Amino acid sequence: MTNVKTSSLGFPRIGLNREWKKSLEAYWKGKTDRETFLKEIDEQFFAALKTQLDQQIDIIPVSDFTFYDHVLDTAIMFNWIPERFKDLNDPLDTYFAMARGTKEAVSCEMTKWFNTNYHYIVPEYEKNAQYRLTKNKPLEDYKKAKTALGVETKPVILGLYTFVALAKGYETQDIKDIYQQMIPLYTQLLKELEQEGVKWVQIDEPALVTASPAEAAAAKEIYEKIKDNVSGLNVLLQTYFDSVDAYKELISFPVEGIGLDFVHDKGKNLEHLKAHGFPKDKVLAAGILDGRNIWKANLEERLDWTAELISGLGASEIWIQPSNSLLHVPVAKHPEEQLADDLINGLSFAKEKLSELTLLKEGLVSGKAAVQSQINDANEHLQALKRYGAATNTAFAEERDKLTEEDFARPTAFEERLRIQNESLGLPVLPTTTIGSFPQTAEVRSARQKWRKQEWSDEQYGSFIKEETKRWIDIQEDIGLDVLVHGEFERTDMVEYFGEKLGGFAFTKYAWVQSYGSRCVRPPVIYGDVEFKEPMTVKETVYAQSLTSKKVKGMLTGPVTILNWSFARYDLPRKEIAFQIAHALRKEVEALEKAGIQIIQVDEPALREGLPLKERDWNEYLTWAAEAFRLSTSSVQDTTQIHTHMCYSNFEDIVDTIEDLDADVITIEHSRSHGGFLDYLEQHPYLKGLGLGVYDIHSPRVPPTEEMLTIIEDALKVCPADRFWVNPDCGLKTRQPEETIAALKNMVEAAKQARDKLAQTV
Ligand code: GLN
Ligand code: ZN
């Protein structure tokens, strides 16, 4: 008989009411002193543990909880403190300085945690640094939990293989040295835990999912060396976010347990397990509930599936758990959330997922009959959710069936479109434009607040937006830009704005998840078929166009970005959801065109973010992502110019997809890319419209004209001038008006000088 336990890999830090965020921000602003801050954070540490205990989870994690980020915790713990922060003597000041920067030292870089929307602080390797274990955070947290609550917890540690994979500042040949330096420190850390009597630690190694057999073998050596000296402590080696290709190597690691994600693995982990078996002397920690979606599980199906897994396993112990840390879902359903019952009942956040696990355990131990009534309830909730989603449906299924290849392609080839558009748009060479948003000043934000709180009527707010638009149309004319924008003053967020106007989306008031540090987001919830209801941007765009004889560019968020920044429904493939959004946006594009807008930009900043972890899965994703984009943009006349925008430089890795979007113009970030991308373009010319960002919008600095002129001239060495655009890196909503105006004036002047020079050379 297999012993079944429930386990949690990690829990959200932010608290049901974002207490964590509030404590952090109050402390940073100096509104609370350190003592109060530490006391508050401690309470939150215990609250997270108690929530998990209340769900009767057998194995509770500690040290997943943090002041900011668990990767930063790991770096600090091993004294990976870059030289520029060494003057700060206080550990907590150093910690926050690395995360947020100081006047003297820029913060460490931040980047996406695998394929999630969580961002971690990138550890920086420095060659001659003295690495050592400065504090044993897992041990401290373990003791704290034990003393206060009397519970035996499982410390969570980020594994060395993954930690190094996430770090920067070294060359591949340094890796062995880094391992050499770090293995004794990890050993010491684990030894101290062992001495304290800790039974299990969870060592997270998500980077192993993409490791080749050779890389996995190198990782195995790490564990052999560590385990040589720490034999009395059980190690659970935890992987997640995908299957493990090097499964055969993985099961031979000298550890007592292995954690596998059976949800995001496309069935591969089970295949490997069946083909190569699973060691009888190890615990299998099976990720069986989706730790990344927000939906109630199909408990009956999960129960049957897990029972079958166990029967084939013949192991003495199995842990059932979410597929990954619950960091990526909201804490718990909030008692005050105002959503339809059918929707609320279909949701399952971190706390609820853990209670689902407890129920599954009960079903596995005592038999299905013991939990049949709860299973029936869950089934009913899922049925009701489906009906609720379907009630708002247009007959998309029908429309979907009618889509043909032509709906995904513009009828005329690019070169011909370019000729036609050049004639009808009448733009100068090297046209200047911006990416869409203008400064969302305190005034703009407070106007929206007043309107949301109903202190302002729709009319009042509407006329404020109009005034702001008019002011910025005048400013743009004054600056001398060629293609203008309305400024996006009516939008807080580029996904929320559209989601609120489309059918099939719901917005929660309390379902926050951490994006990075204290920043939390509330992703929209896609629960039904996405439906176009009425034009979403026509009024603002047409108004802006009525104020000027220059062309105003319409601004939409693309289907892939809307999908990637939302919680998607579980019962349709992502591709189909993207197509639904695309189909709705297509109607918006048509409405804009009909209203006389000749240039329409469909932003896809999150397209690359959605890339699967494994390269072999990229093609499938990129193919449908490009199809979705084309579905939204292909029904226009040849005279209508489609733009797109992406927020990153160096698109080498997705260049075929960019080509595949068949946009007339793409604008991308470029100002900080140090020429590497131009070398690439020299080898692989890009022949459609291209706007390379000529200035960094992340900084208040106003770059001089010459600097931007140099960027333009360098670009023109490899880009055809008759299709090159001049623009900033991204939208300007976070900038101040003065600096924005000054920088754009310089940019327009740079474009003018570049044109003059071009004219001389012909
Ligand atoms: N049009 C958007 C803006 O200018 C684009 C934002 C983005 O790329 N993230 O704000
Ligand atoms: Zn951008």
Each residue's pLDDT tens digit, 78-96: 999 999 999 998 999 999 9
Chain centroid offset of residue 722 CA: 36
Chain centroid offset of residue 399 CA: 31
Which ligand 1 atom lies nearest to the CA of residue 605?
Answer: 8
Q: Is 607 in the pocket of ligand 1 (CB under 6 A)?
A: no
**605 Cα–ligand 1 center, Å:** 8
The helix/strand count (H/E) of the chain reads as 27, 21
Which ligand 1 atom lies nearest to the CA of residue 435?
Answer: 4
**681 Cα–ligand 2 center, Å:** 20
String of DSSP letters for 332-358: S--TT----HHHHTTB--HHHHHHHHH
**650 Cα–ligand 2 center, Å:** 13
Mean pLDDT estimate for the chain: 96
Ligand of minimum distance to the alpha carbon of 693:
2
Ligand of minimum distance to the alpha carbon of 732:
1
Closest CA to 531 of 504, 566, 498: 504
Q: Is 435 in the pocket of ligand 1 (CB under 6 A)?
A: yes
Which ligand 1 atom lies nearest to the CA of residue 437?
Answer: 4
Using a CB cutoff of 5 Å, list residues around ligand 2, an ion.
605, 647, 730
Ligand of minimum distance to the alpha carbon of 604:
1
Residue 390: per-residue pLDDT: 82
For ligand 1, pick from 484, 491, 494 the residue to mutate: most ligand atoms within 8 Å of CB: 494
How far apart are the C-alpha atoms of 406 and 147, rounded to whole Å? 67
How far apart are the C-alpha atoms of 355 and 353, rounded to whole Å? 5
Find out whether 43 is annotated in a ligand binding site: no
Taking the whole predicted model, whether its pTM rises above 0.85 is answered as yes
Comparison of pLDDT for 648 and 347, the residue scoring more: 347
How far apart are the C-alpha atoms of 496 and 537, rounded to whole Å? 13
Residue 434: per-residue pLDDT: 98
How far CA 579 is from CA of 16, 311, 571, 584, 631, in Å, comes to 34, 40, 15, 9, 7
String of DSSP letters for 49-91: HHHHHHTT-SB-EES---SS-HHHHHHHHTT---GGGTT---H
Tokens, residue 338 = 């105002």
- For residues 203 and 216, the answer to whether their CB atoms sit within 8 Å is no
pLDDT at 394 over 70: no
Ligand of minimum distance to the alpha carbon of 486:
1
Q: What confidence tier does 389 reach under pLDDT thresholds 50, 70, 90?
A: confident
E strands, 543-640, are: 551-557, 599-603
- Which strands sit side by side in the sheet containing 61-62, from one edge to the other? 3-6, 317-322, 283-289, 257-261, 234-238, 200-204, 154-158, 61-62
- For residues 635 and 582, the answer to whether their CB atoms sit within 8 Å is no
Q: Residue 450, SS3?
A: helix
Q: What confidence tier does 135 reach under pLDDT thresholds 50, 70, 90?
A: very high
For ligand 1, pick from 440, 496, 553, 730 the residue to mutate: most ligand atoms within 8 Å of CB: 730
E strands, 135-227, are: 154-158, 200-204
Closest CA to 705 of 754, 760, 740, 758: 754
Find out whether 719 is annotated in a ligand binding site: no
Catalytic site includes residue 698: yes
CATH topology of domain 3-390: TIM Barrel (3.20.20)
Find out whether 660 is annotated in a ligand binding site: yes
How far apart are the C-alpha atoms of 558 and 641, rounded to whole Å? 15
CB neighbourhood size of 39 (10 A): 12
Find out whether 565 is annotated in a ligand binding site: yes
**494 Cα–ligand 1 center, Å:** 7
Ligand of minimum distance to the alpha carbon of 601:
1
Find out whether 419 is annotated in a ligand binding site: no
**695 Cα–ligand 1 center, Å:** 15
Letter string b/e over residues 129-154, b meaning 16 or more CB atoms within 10 A of that residue's CB? bebebeebbbbebbebbbeeeeeebb
Q: What confidence tier does 672 reach under pLDDT thresholds 50, 70, 90?
A: confident
Domain ranges of the chain: 3-390, 415-761
> 415-761 has which CATH code?
3.20.20.210
Tokens, residue 58 = 């057998």
Q: Is 605 in the pocket of ligand 1 (CB under 6 A)?
A: yes
526 contact partners, CB below 8 Å, separation of at least 6 = 499, 504, 505, 563, 566, 567, 568, 569, 577
Percentage helix, strand, coil, to 5, in the chain? 50, 15, 35
Q: Which residue in 276, 674, 684, 698 is the catalytic one? A: 698
- Domains 3-390 and 415-761 equal at CATH topology level: yes
Q: What confidence tier does 393 reach under pLDDT thresholds 50, 70, 90?
A: low
Find out whether 119 is annotated in a ligand binding site: no
For ligand 1, pick from 440, 555, 600, 735 the residue to mutate: most ligand atoms within 8 Å of CB: 555
pLDDT at 650 over 70: no
How far apart are the C-alpha atoms of 122 and 369, rounded to whole Å? 49
CB neighbourhood size of 215 (10 A): 18
Q: How far apart are the first and last CA of the chain?
A: 84
How far apart are the C-alpha atoms of 539 and 554, rounded to whole Å? 11
> Which residue has tokens 């490899």?
718
Letter string b/e over residues 489-510, b meaning 16 or more CB atoms within 10 A of that residue's CB? bbbeebbbbbbebbbbbbebeb
- For residues 227 and 255, the answer to whether their CB atoms sit within 8 Å is yes
pLDDT at 649 over 80: no
Q: Ligand 1, atom 5: nearest CA belongs to which residue?
A: 731
- Weakest-pLDDT range from 144-153, 441-450, 484-493, 645-654: 645-654
How far apart are the C-alpha atoms of 397 and 407, rounded to whole Å? 15
Which ligand 1 atom lies nearest to the CA of residue 731?
Answer: 4
The residue type found at 148 is: A
**33 Cα–ligand 2 center, Å:** 37
Q: Ligand 1, atom 6: nearest CA belongs to which residue?
A: 731
For ligand 1, pick from 117, 433, 437 the residue to mutate: most ligand atoms within 8 Å of CB: 437
Residue 254 CB-half CA count within 13 A: 15
How far apart are the C-alpha atoms of 360 and 210, rounded to whole Å? 30
Residue 676: per-residue pLDDT: 83
**170 Cα–ligand 1 center, Å:** 33
Residue 395: per-residue pLDDT: 62
Q: Is 494 in the pocket of ligand 1 (CB under 6 A)?
A: yes
CB neighbourhood size of 50 (10 A): 13
pLDDT in tens, 508-555: 999 999 999 999 999 999 999 999 999 999 999 999 999 999 999 999
Closest CA to 346 of 310, 373, 292, 386: 386
- For residues 127 and 136, the answer to whether their CB atoms sit within 8 Å is no
How far apart are the C-alpha atoms of 594 and 597, rounded to whole Å? 7
Backbone angles phi, psi at 412, to 5 degrees: -110, 145
pLDDT in tens, 362-380: 999 999 999 999 999 999 9
pLDDT in tens, 151-164: 999 999 999 999 99
String of DSSP letters for 655-707: HHHHHHHT-SEEEE--TTSTTHHHHHHHHS---SEEEEE-S-TTS-----HHH
Tokens, residue 94 = 């150093």
**662 Cα–ligand 2 center, Å:** 19
244 contact partners, CB below 8 Å, separation of at least 6 = 208, 209, 211, 216, 250, 260, 269, 272
Find out whether 437 is annotated in a ligand binding site: yes
Q: Is 437 in the pocket of ligand 1 (CB under 6 A)?
A: yes
Q: Ligand 1, atom 1: nearest CA belongs to which residue?
A: 436
How far apart are the C-alpha atoms of 222 and 182, rounded to whole Å? 9
pLDDT at 485 over 80: yes
How far apart are the C-alpha atoms of 286 and 197, rounded to whole Å? 25
406 by Cβ neighbours in 10 Å (0-12 / 13-18 / 19+) ranks as exposed
CB neighbourhood size of 191 (10 A): 17
Q: Is 731 in the pocket of ligand 1 (CB under 6 A)?
A: yes
Q: What is the mean pLDDT of residues 405-424?
A: 97
Q: Is 602 in the pocket of ligand 1 (CB under 6 A)?
A: no
